[in-house]
């Protein structure tokens, strides 16, 4: 279900948001979409307002590909948004690592830095890059 709020700033689906209209929309997994369209991406960009782990879980086939075929992931990573959905933020990098990915955080200049662990509480959002072929 997609809920359209009166404001145009993200997270329109959050409980308590100013919902004007609600729509039922179809969805699919990334694996199913890629299989039905005979498509294999090189790069997957995700900004799912805290539901990034759900997207990765729906792409286990893509994530299981060997390093020279597996896509690079660029995800907006927000521990705060994960918590609003009842998700543990640490599970996303752990899941990617389980598939053989290395995780990095992009700094302000767009350079890949080692992924911070534990995740600093004062950093609400950053871009996570996951690659099976090391830093890009």
Q: Has residue 19 been placed in a domain? A: no
Q: Has residue 10 been placed in a domain? A: no
Q: Has residue 16 been placed in a domain? A: no
Number of structural domains in the chain: 1
Q: Has residue 50 been placed in a domain? A: yes
Q: Has residue 14 been placed in a domain? A: no
Which two three-digit tokens encode residue 108?
């302000």
Q: Has residue 92 been placed in a domain? A: yes
Q: Has residue 136 been placed in a domain? A: no
Structural domain for 43, as ranges: 38-131
The dihedral through the CA atoms of 12, 10, 62, 131 has a sign that is: negative
Answer whether 0.95 is exceeded by the pTM. no
d(CA 22, CA 124): 28
- Band the pLDDT of 8: cuts 50, 70, 90: very low
**Chain length of the chain:** 136
- Band the pLDDT of 92: cuts 50, 70, 90: very high
Q: How do strand 102-106 and strand 72-77 relate by DSSP bridges?
A: unpaired
pLDDT digits (tens, 9 = 90+) for 25-84: 888 999 999 999 999 999 999 998 889 999 999 999 999 999 999 999 999 988 888 888
């Amino acid at each position: 279900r997609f809920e359209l709020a009166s404001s145009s700033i993200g997270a329109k689906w959050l409980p308590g948001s100013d919902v004007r209209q609600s729509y039922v929309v179809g969805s699919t997994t990334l694996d199913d979409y890629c299989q039905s369209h005979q498509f294999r991406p090189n790069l997957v960009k995700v900004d799912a307002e805290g539901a990034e782990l759900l997207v990765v879980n729906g792409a286990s086939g893509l994530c299981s590909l060997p390093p020279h075929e597996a896509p690079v992931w660029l995800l907006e990573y927000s521990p705060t948004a994960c918590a609003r959905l009842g998700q543990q933020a640490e599970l996303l990098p752990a899941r990617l690592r389980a598939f053989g990915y290395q995780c990095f955080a992009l700094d302000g200049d767009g350079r890949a830095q080692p992924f911070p662990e534990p995740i600093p509480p004062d950093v609400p959002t950053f871009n996570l890059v996951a690659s099976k072929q090391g830093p890009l």
